[in-house]
A and B are shown apart, each in its own frame.
Chain A
Amino acid sequence: AQSVTQLDSQVPVFEEAPVELRCNYSSSVSVYLFWYVQYPNQGLQLLLKYLSGSTLVESINGFEAEFNKSQTSFHLRKPSVHISDTAEYFCAVSRNTGNQFYFGTGTSLTVIP
């Protein structure tokens, strides 16, 4: 079975500073990788995904993540955060059959004015 580790449960960062949210996974098979964002009292929304191809994937709101197969990582980065980025972020992994999904425990990002 896969497992997903998000080492940082809380990340405070000042507005306009860069941020990296870390995600590591364990799997011996090919996987699909995802980052989801959850705003307070809402469901999860897909931020970006890696299925195949280029290892660097980007979202429409400035986030990016890079799939590193040798380090089994899929860290999320943004060069300059905004107040509106304050939310809970979840990393998820699925085998490339796309059936079972495993989520990390989440990272709470707080952007400080």
Chain B
Amino acid sequence: EAQVTQNPRYLITVTGKKLTVTCSQNMNHEYMSWYRQDPGLGLRQIYYSMNVEVTDKGDVPEGYKVSRKEKRNFPLILESPSPNQTSLYFCASSSFRGQGSYEQYFGPGTRLTVT
């Protein structure tokens, strides 16, 4: 089954404690992206990756890091989480080719609370 998986689905942590949210896709997609969803603000792009070892900042990259060492994985790293990073996070992937080009497949989301 084609899918994007994220772990963990729920996470409560404290300010300053480094954490990683994993994202994996099994569709051989070149493109992967991270978003955060906040009430009244919609989805905002944090980072994206056009292919392995190619990453770039989205609209709200401050406080986040990413890496793309393998095509299928795109982890999101919060080196020192703060309460304003409490949010719902989505990973997505897509291909640039074929009938489904640019169609982003979204993971189920990770709800992060930073106290």
| Chain A residues packing against B (C-beta within 8 Å) | 1, 4, 6, 9, 32, 34, 36, 42-46, 49, 51, 90, 92, 94, 98-106
Contacts and interface: CB of A to CB of B under 8 A. Distances in A.
Interface residues of B, number: 27
B40 A105 contact: yes
B108 A104 contact: no
A90 B43 contact: yes
Interface stretch (B13-21, B66-74, B78-86, B97-105): B97-105
A3 to B, nearest CB: 10
Given A43-B107, A43-B108, A49 B42 contact: no
A98 B96 CA distance: 8
Contacts, number: 63
B102 A94 contact: yes
B102 A99 contact: no
Contacts of B40: 9, 105
A98 B102 contact: yes
A32 B56 contact: no
A29 to B, nearest CB: 15
Given A49-B103, A100-B58, A44 B41 contact: no
Given A49-B102, A90-B43, A104-B42, A99 B90 contact: no
Most buried by B among A9, A32, A36, A103: A103
